[in-house]
Structure 1
Amino acid sequence: MAEAERSFVKTVFRLEEIDKDLFRGDHMRSVSMTRVFGGQIASQALVAAQCTVSNEQTVHSLHTYFLRPGDLSVPILYRVTHLRDGRSFASRSVEAIQRGRFIAHVVLSFQTPEISSSSIVHQVPMPRAPDPDTLEAMIDPFRVRGFGVSESNDSLPSFEFRDATNFAEWAATRRVWLKAVNASFDNSIFHSALLALISDSFFISAALRTHSSFQFGMATSLDHSIYFHSTSVRADDWILFDVESSRASNNRALGTGRLYARDGTLIMTAVQEALIRPKL
């Protein structure tokens, strides 16, 4: 495991178990971040909940409500409640707590794999997109000051991005190839957590694409849901993130994002509602 990779995993995904079903997590941080990144909370809640189910069970859905801004100056406590333990499914509720107050509530469901040749199988086809090797690299949004990240920081994930958005098309969409750098570990939980973390991206920019005259004031995620369709995903392979905002009203924008492996397999679906307010 590379040094930067080991530092990020140790800082963000190696939660400290301080009591039964109670975990403490540190932050990805930089000099210009002002609050905890929502994707970090979702991914750490996933890691905490996974520690309380059997090794055979893997996450298939995660639903997060962001209740308050997270404070970077103190760790987050993740309190896991066992809602149900069945032969096929297990359900967990995770409360993210700082200073005695809830900052997020996450509900997750895990399934024991059911592999059968008679199961129904279908998916939405991957949209056409240029091959990532033919596209120029985007600036990593985790490592630019405008997003809130310093130049070099091992407590941050490192991703490579290629923008495949068709900007000639006037639509509330974003289409981006992405992959984690220095993520050669074989821990499938951490790969799912990395993708959960990065899936809290590009929804707001998709919603704003058709509003060039909008006087932007602030934006934040209100809730974020993820459906995991595959248990063998790797964050260090190229993945196409196809995001579309289907509706915006009352200062809220709804978006759906589909993540495809390079071979066209739909591996995750994310749905997010964001608060987007104009400048006052």
Structure 2
Amino acid sequence: MTSSTADAPPVTFAALLALEQEEPETFRAPGHGGPPERTFGGTLVAQALLAAGRTVAPERSAHSLHAYFLRPGDASAPTDYRVTAIRDGATYATRQVVAAQHGKPTFLLTASFQLPEDGREHQLPRLDAPPPEQLPTLQEASAGLGGALGRWFARLPLTRPLDLRFDGELPRVAAARGEAAAPRHRFWLRTREHLPDAQLPHSCVVAYVSDMLLLSTSLAPHATTSGAPDVAAASIDHAVWFHRPFRADEWLFYEQESSSAFGGRALCHGRLFTRSGDLVATVAQEAMIRDRAAPADSPTARN
């Protein structure tokens, strides 16, 4: 944990989702004003979705988003989101959002919004998880952990405004012992703050959460994790499909897995369920994973 993180107040979704509207289709997220640090990808996804959602009729809910991470963002600096209305149909509306810092695009998102309608229903798979009350809190899960692993757990409540309950040992803990683990995460989550009743902020929270820990599933079989000195890792593209209405200030279960890694890339998947078992969102992400150091002519080096 850096001193700036330790001294800063905990992050809140109220602050993360407080975009300033500069023009009808331009929004700005202020930076934190401290030392430069890389922007968490979920922040970009959530803020871009919020910007897009503010340009469509409130009765239309987001049902999908697709995003590309173009350059590392600087969390200390403001980020501008410019929204382009691609189409407004009778049922669906499509928006494109470009995030920029210092005059250069850092992130690209397209999102589609739909009016409510009735239709056939089914879902696979079903929720298979112990209730959150039976799982340890973050403090209980990290009790006795020291060093970098202990600092990582201590930093989570300050940087992620969520109540988290992990189902089983995190692969990060196994990696600290030098052991490989299955490419999988399973955990309950909910916001620590009450959210408005409108669906958009709840969808933005899941957009934020969708990027959390996902990339690290692909590193678990290799006894390492994101942020380790032997790994260069970054999200490349990211997609979320929203299936049903939900509340993110009530418990959601997020199961993640990585199905493939090859050629310096990995594919990761995720599903989010309500406590009652409804599948509310599906996530897919392709990530770059390389042994350090990255070649000088790589896209990461150029960016």
The CA distance in 2 between the partners of 1:101 and 1:148, in whole Å, is: 34
1:182 has 2:193 as partner = yes
Aligned equivalents of 1:189, 1:43: Cα separation in 2: 10
Q: 1:41 to 1:184 in 2, by over 3 A?
A: closer
1:199-278 alignment runs, 5 A limit:
199-212=210-223, 216-231=230-245, 233-278=246-291
Partner of 1:90: 93
Matches within 5 A, 1:54-93: 54-93=57-96
Q: State the 1:9 CA deviation.
A: 4.2
Q: Is the 8 A contact 1:12 1:28 kept in 2?
A: no
Contact 2:70/2:106 (8 A) holds in 1: yes
Q: Structure 2 CA distance, aligned partners of 1:181 and 1:225? A: 25
For normalisation by structure 1, the TM-score amounts to 0.85
Question: Which 5+ residue runs of structure 2 have no aligned equivalent?
Answer: 1-8, 143-149, 172-179, 294-303
Give the deviation of 1:279 after TM superposition. 3.1
Partner in structure 2 of residue 136 of structure 1: 136
Q: State the alpha-carbon separation in 2 of the partners of residues 161 and 121 from structure 1.
A: 30
How many residue pairs end up in the alignment?
266
Deviations 1:42-69 (A, max 9, x none): 1001111111111111100011100000
The answer to whether the 8 A contact 1:61-1:110 is kept is yes
The verdict on how the C-alpha distance between 1:45 and 1:191 changes in structure 2, with shifts beyond 3 A counting, is: same
- Partners of 1:184 and 1:17 in 2: how far apart? 20
Give 1:27 shift.
4.3
Partner Cα separation in structure 2 for residue 161 and residue 49 of structure 1: 28
Instruction: Report the residue type matching 1:16 in the other structure.
Output: E
- CA shift for structure 1 position 198: 1.0
The 3-state SS of whatever aligns with 1:97 is strand
Q: Go from structure 1 to structure 2 and tell me whether the alpha carbon gap of 1:101 and 1:84 turns closer, same or farther (over 3 Å shift).
A: same
**Structure 2 residue 192 is matched with structure 1 residue 192:** no
C-alpha distance in 2 between matches for 1:275 and 1:30: 28
Paired residues of 1:254 and 1:271 also in contact (CA < 8 A): yes
Provide closer, same or farther for how the CA distance between residues 183 and 30 of structure 1 changes in structure 2, counting only shifts above 3 A.
farther
Q: Provide the rounded CA distance (Å) in 2 between the counterparts of 1:219 and 1:87.
A: 41
**1:36-47 matched pairs, under 5 angstroms:** 36-47=39-50
Q: Residue 121 of structure 2 aligns with which residue?
A: 121
The answer for unaligned runs of 5 or more in structure 1 is none
On the 8 A contact 2:32/2:76 being kept in 1, the answer is no
Taking structure 1 as reference, are residues 78 and 149 closer, same or farther at Cα in structure 2, changes over 3 Å only?
farther
Does the C-alpha gap of structure 1 residues 97 and 12 become closer, same or farther in structure 2, counting only changes over 3 Å?
same
Is the partner of 1:270 in helix, strand or coil? strand
Cα separation, 1, equivalents of 2:156 and 2:278: 34
Q: Distance in 2 between matches of 1:157 and 1:28?
A: 15
Per-residue CA deviation, residues 216-264 of structure 1 (Å, 9 max, x unaligned), is 3221111110000113x11111111011101101111101100000111
For residue 120 of structure 1, report the CA deviation from its aligned partner. Answer: 2.1
Deviation at 1:149, TM superposition (A): 5.0
How many angstroms apart in 2 are the aligned matches of 1:211 and 1:90? 42
